[in-house]
Structure 1
Amino acid sequence: MRIVRSRVARAITAALAVGMIASACTSERDKEGSGDGAKDTFVFGAPGDPSSLDPALASDGETFRVTRQAFEALLEHESGGSKLVGGLAETWESNPEGTVWTFNLRKGVKFHDGEAFNAAAVCANYDHWFNWTGTYQSSAVSYYWQTVMGGFAKNEDKEAPEANYKSCTAKDENTAVIEVKKPSANLPGGFSLNALAIHSPKAIKEYEKQDATAKGDAITYPKYSQEAGTVAGTGPYKIKGWNKGNKEVTLERFDDYWGDKAKVKNIVIRTLDTEEGRRQALQAGDIDGYDLVAPADVKTLEKEGFQVPTRGVFNLFYVGMSQGADPALKKKEVRQAIAHAVDRENLVATQLPEGGKVATQFMPDTIAGYSDKVKQYPFDTAKAKDLLKKAGEEKLKIEFCYPTEVTRPYMPAPQDLFELMKADLEKAGITVTPKPMKWAPDYLDATEAGSCALHMLGWTGDFNDGFNFIGTWFAEYDKQWGFKNKKLFEAVTAGSTLTGDERTEAYKKANEAIMEYLPGLPVSSSPPAIAFGKNVNPPKVSPLTQENFAEVSFK
């Protein structure tokens, strides 16, 4: 998930009914349920607000945590793993060139609004995205479409990439064929993204009556994406309400779901933006689970009888350097000085969960394509000072943005991490100007626009391919980084048309080229923990942070 690099949001107060459900989920929650006394509402504590109820307009993990329960893509990942399996498509195949993808669709699937799912519905979605105009073409709004399928039928944004999507054809009612112009390393993995999940064609017609708008870097999202009632997917839950005042999204079981029915009737996803607040809410019984457990809390909770499974390592935390925001960062010696100034070993040892590792490149060592030959930048304050002197920047002053009101899988305590790095940089003679910003939308908008010289971000992989990491940032010009380097871009994209060992070797070479150029500083990879109540049968935890709450039940 991008930024996971994540993005943006505007929320509007939802219906009064949501507040009623929310209150029932706290003081009255234990009284709910069937005649045998079983609970029928699972309350989960999330570290941040979603940005949209339409996943196509998002790139952040907190949105996808919600929308994944309600929307399904053509492909999915096996429960608890990273292997691609059938989603709304039972089977799929491509031509040898990887440009024609045929999906054999499930039969008997309904959307939440009663519409039937079929090949025409698949094509209605892909053609809807392809024909976006205006603000919808902003990379902050259509990030994942642009990442997987390129630009649009008619590019209005000069920074939009060339379109790679060619067409979608309903070969028959249950067979959809999607064609692209060129093979891509993002396929077939891209077909599993929740951002490309399938919506009801009836709902899409309503979507198309509304526009997203922008004023500077600030984006206002269409009303349908900010309140429940219009969006309709095929998932085991349907979205009932979004109460921004109480920071809660409420979902209700979809009884006409095609697969195994959800075991709990209602899901409430409540934002609790501090680690301590989430832990205390679980201990008090106000919530039934929460994500991104502070490393220091894991053993405490386990001793108290709570369940605290740890996900596999599938993320990366980094310090971004925007050359467009500060000309000094155009000097390689300055970027190298910053890299040598930061004590990453200390960050991992003191701030990250057990099992965290210092990152040497922009992907974890669990991904094929990780290289043992990248250039290293060990902690060395004296060397950092020498490099600054060489660059003529002994008195460097630089702005460092960091997010507030959020915790991410790769970034447990943003302010603590920032303070340690600020102290390291100042020991090397760099004057740091702190710039705290609210995560959504301020921080996400600013980093996406490239207006933060130094900033902290990260990524949890969407699917198991090296390009999903390095290609996310360095396949082409990106305002976040603000540099153009054709040779580097070509190295990153070289593996796109290759397979097997050849692709892996191409990714290794790309990692070596990236770390030689050093566009930013990879800091760490770590295994994020998630907690559940003593009376919960939890879902299988996912290295992709793609937990399916339909698997949850109460003991």
Structure 2
Amino acid sequence: MRFNKSFGKGVALVASLAVLGTLGACAKSQRDTGSGTASTSGGDFVFAASSDPVMLDPAMASDGETFRVSRQIFEGLVSTKPGTVDLEPLLAKSWTNTPDGKSYTFTLQEGVKFHDGTDFNAEAVCANFDRWYNWTGLNQNENITYYYGKLFKGFKDSKTKGIYDSCEAKSATQATIKLNTPFAGFVQAMTLPAFSMQSPTALKKYNADDTKGTETDPRFSAYATAHPTGTGPFKFDKWERDQQVTLTRNDDYWGDKAKVSKVIIRTISDPKARTQELEAGNIDGYDLVAPADVQALKDKGFQIENRPAFNILYLGFNQKNKALKNLKVRQAISYAIDKAAVVKQSLPEGSAPAKEFMPSMVEGYEEGVTDYAYNPTKAKKLLKEAGAENLTLRFAYPTGVSRPYMPTPEDTFVAIKSQLEAVGIKITPVAAKWSPDYLDLAQSPEGTTKRDIHLLGWTGDYNDPDNFIGVFFGAKSNEWGFDNPKLFADLKKARELPTREEQTPLYKQINKEIADYAPGVPIAHPAPSLAFGKGVKGYVASPVQDEVWSNITVDR
């Protein structure tokens, strides 16, 4: 997820990931469908986020703070078991697929209703899939409907055929999704909040997809800002911009009811202020603990929980810049960066320098890629050979935000800036507030004219190499600005193979191809931390941040 998430642990995790790759023939629910009798403790759970959500329609989101809220309101067909990356049925209690990997039939839970009282059923499933497929115009912008465009590779009116073909409601409890081409990670992808089930009635009532002319951004419709409607354990109450989002317990929830009556997600952008609010008892927990605060909080008796790093922090190159089209310039920048120093100066304990654009635990990782070990002498030599000794680059970075892959962006910027200047590259800083300015700067067409290199990252949504390198480099994009038909074709071929066993060797070769092409610099895999008050119980940190707060209790 651009802009949030992390991953599981060690050998046991790798084994569980291998299981994910083989799932598909049939899966049955291990979820308690819920008698609705679970005890509730009442009270509030107050959590501090580092920024406001962009908005509250997860289908149009790619940022972690929108997804953090969305996971409480919305549910998908499938989910992950708490604390793991193992698939778990959710609104679908089982599923089957055909051997060719082009048809998936989901058998749905019965008696589930959306928060507006309308039925969740197979017709609602198809309405959601068709909504995504039928987006037109501005709704197809990669900065608006990022995930559908990246994973399904096309819309109804696209010139190239996308992956989605159709959805059929065979009965109220059985929906069949047909694909034009195989996608081995299809069920795993359905765990993403972007593919949550939303009330078709509410979407229509509050004009969720109505751009009202080219000047209106559909992300800020009445639906997306004031009426998000799902099936989850919490319902939307109110959103006070730049202050907090308030959710209330869904007492008609189809499963076990949430134990707290209300959750409040406060926006506190300053890491030090989040720490102070926790110490004062004004919040119960927060994410993205600053590295310097971890031990001090432990010493005061607060709970610290680490998410193993299933992410990547990178320096992206915008090849709309003529100089950056030159491979030698891209290689020079790669050699100029001392990744170990960047980790030491700006990232949490446990973070590791990166060699490629995905973590080593993802299948398809290749140890033997070209490794641009820190070598400023070689960097200067390459710049001279490229005729770029007087190179000036606009270096974009976000302010007022912490991300799991970039907890202190300003510090990371300073560390890399000094290293680039040391090899003779002049840097013009381009700072922007995270939401929505920085994401627009990094991903919109207009942004390509305003920056040359930029800091960004990704936290994996599920164990699939396509979720990393396919998302980054699967097609031409505003962020990277290059056209590499061979790389695009290789990634397309890999993702359309029906099994993980067939995919892995090809992805290993693709990772070599990416390293040789040097579209950017993979910097590090940072290790994020969460902090909680002494009385918080029941919070299970998810490797992929799939955290629903139903089981949390707070003893003050």
User: Does TM-score exceed 0.5, indicating one fold?
Assistant: yes
1:421 to 406, 416, 422: 416
Structure 1 equivalent of residue 141 of structure 2? 138
Structure 2 equivalent of residue 314 of structure 1? 310
Structure 2 equivalent of residue 293 of structure 1? 289
1:357 to 344, 352, 357: 352
Structure 2 equivalent of residue 459 of structure 1? 458
Structure 1 equivalent of residue 545 of structure 2? 545
Structure 1 equivalent of residue 397 of structure 2? 402
1:114 to 114, 117, 135: 117
- SS of match in other structure, 1:484: coil
Residue pair 1:214, 1:220 contacting (<8 A) in 2 also: no
Q: How many angstroms does 1:235 deviate by?
A: 0.3
Q: How many angstroms does 1:483 deviate by?
A: 0.7
Structure 1 equivalent of residue 238 of structure 2? 241
Q: How many angstroms does 1:498 deviate by?
A: 4.5
Structure 1 residues 507 and 62, CA, compared in 2 at 3 Å: closer, same or farther?
Answer: same
Answer yes or no: is 1:259 the counterpart of 2:252: no
Answer yes or no: is 1:223 the counterpart of 2:226: no
Residue pair 2:343, 2:352 contacting (<8 A) in 1 also: yes
Partners of 2:161 and 2:277 in 1: CA distance: 48
Residue pair 1:312, 1:542 contacting (<8 A) in 2 also: no
Partners of 1:287 and 1:177 in 2: CA distance: 44
Q: How many angstroms does 1:275 deviate by?
A: 1.0
Structure 2 equivalent of residue 445 of structure 1? 440
Deviates more, 1:510-519 or 1:536-545: 536-545
Structure 1 residues 515 and 209, CA, compared in 2 at 3 Å: closer, same or farther?
Answer: closer
Structure 1 equivalent of residue 11 of structure 2? none
Q: Percent identity?
A: 45
- SS of match in other structure, 1:85: strand
Structure 1 residues 209 and 454, CA, compared in 2 at 3 Å: closer, same or farther?
Answer: closer
Partners of 1:535 and 1:328 in 2: CA distance: 55
Q: 1:135-214 counterparts in 2 under 5 A?
A: 135-155=138-158, 162-208=161-207, 211-212=210-211
Q: 1:337-348 counterparts in 2 under 5 A?
A: 337-348=332-343
Partners of 1:495 and 1:317 in 2: CA distance: 24
Partners of 1:290 and 1:259 in 2: CA distance: 26
Q: How many angstroms does 1:506 deviate by?
A: 1.4
Structure 2 equivalent of residue 59 of structure 1? 62
- SS of match in other structure, 1:335: helix
Partners of 1:513 and 1:364 in 2: CA distance: 17
Residue pair 1:166, 1:181 contacting (<8 A) in 2 also: yes
Q: Deviations over 1:437-492 (max 9, x none)?
A: 11111110111025221000000111111111110111111121111111122232
Deviates more, 1:530-539 or 1:388-397: 530-539
Q: Deviations over 1:299-336 (max 9, x none)?
A: 11111111111012211100000101x11000001111
Q: How many angstroms does 1:149 deviate by?
A: 2.1
Structure 1 residues 103 and 227, CA, compared in 2 at 3 Å: closer, same or farther?
Answer: same
Residue pair 1:99, 1:180 contacting (<8 A) in 2 also: yes
Residue pair 1:185, 1:467 contacting (<8 A) in 2 also: no
Residue pair 1:39, 1:554 contacting (<8 A) in 2 also: no
Structure 1 equivalent of residue 2 of structure 2? 2
Q: How many angstroms does 1:163 deviate by?
A: 2.5
Q: How many angstroms does 1:213 deviate by?
A: 6.4
What TM-score results when the alignment is normalised by the length of structure 1? 0.90
Residue pair 1:211, 1:222 contacting (<8 A) in 2 also: no
Q: How many angstroms does 1:164 deviate by?
A: 2.0
- SS of match in other structure, 1:417: helix
Partners of 1:538 and 1:248 in 2: CA distance: 22
Structure 1 equivalent of residue 51 of structure 2? 48
Answer yes or no: is 1:503 the counterpart of 2:500: no
Structure 1 residues 365 and 39, CA, compared in 2 at 3 Å: closer, same or farther?
Answer: same
Q: How many angstroms does 1:128 deviate by?
A: 1.6
Deviates more, 1:184-193 or 1:330-339: 184-193
Residue pair 1:357, 1:524 contacting (<8 A) in 2 also: yes
Partners of 2:211 and 2:279 in 1: CA distance: 41
Q: Deviations over 1:376-415 (max 9, x none)?
A: 0011111111010010000000100000111000001000
Q: How many angstroms does 1:207 deviate by?
A: 4.1
Partners of 2:141 and 2:486 in 1: CA distance: 26
Q: How many angstroms does 1:151 deviate by?
A: 2.1
Structure 1 residues 377 and 124, CA, compared in 2 at 3 Å: closer, same or farther?
Answer: same
Residue pair 1:401, 1:456 contacting (<8 A) in 2 also: yes
- SS of match in other structure, 2:330: helix
- How many residues matched? 516
- The amino acid across from 1:340 in the alignment is Y
Residue pair 2:138, 2:214 contacting (<8 A) in 1 also: no
- The amino acid across from 2:400 in the alignment is E
Residue pair 1:46, 1:269 contacting (<8 A) in 2 also: yes
Answer yes or no: is 1:392 the counterpart of 2:387: yes
Q: Deviations over 1:484-535 (max 9, x none)?
A: 1111222323322142433221111111110010100000012211111111
Segments of 5+ residues of structure 2 without an aligned counterpart are 6-39
- The amino acid across from 1:476 in the alignment is A
- SS of match in other structure, 1:68: helix
Q: Deviations over 1:274-302 (max 9, x none)?
A: 11111111011110000000111111111
Residue pair 1:313, 1:366 contacting (<8 A) in 2 also: no
Structure 1 residues 209 and 353, CA, compared in 2 at 3 Å: closer, same or farther?
Answer: closer
- The amino acid across from 1:237 in the alignment is F
Structure 2 equivalent of residue 375 of structure 1? 370
Structure 1 equivalent of residue 128 of structure 2? 125
- SS of match in other structure, 2:306: coil
Q: How many angstroms does 1:123 deviate by?
A: 0.7
Structure 1 residues 402 and 377, CA, compared in 2 at 3 Å: closer, same or farther?
Answer: same
Partners of 1:195 and 1:189 in 2: CA distance: 12
Partners of 2:304 and 2:427 in 1: CA distance: 37
- SS of match in other structure, 2:494: coil
